[in-house]
Structure 1
């Protein structure tokens, strides 16, 4: 029987977020900075921890379109 590895939503999103770094040196760590800023804003607003986590993940993924941008630009 093949065992399928389990991966958490957080780990999956962080893998995708890290993949963004491979697209361009210009945006390296930008998404991580946005994620932490969003998390800190949520904390300052005293949002529940679940919402703070969602803000962090949203910040980490906000540039996800950049993964396909390079491919789209190369076809122009």
Structure 2
């Protein structure tokens, strides 16, 4: 597991969305993890109500926020 000094840069509604965001950040050279309080995967519905945090190291916070904002801006609205 990655050793991240967590700074939350986003909160998303599902593990799938979190995995995509983490993959995007990692593919751009940033270290990122998704943290969900879903009873160790036994109750995925908990992540829907509580959300899934995307965390990065403090020094990567600005770059991560900018990258996620750019993707959000380009996302189809609907």
Same fold (TM > 0.5): no
Give the TM-score of the pair, scaled to structure 2.
Answer: 0.29
Name the one with the larger strand percent: 2
Give the TM-score of the pair, scaled to structure 1.
Answer: 0.29
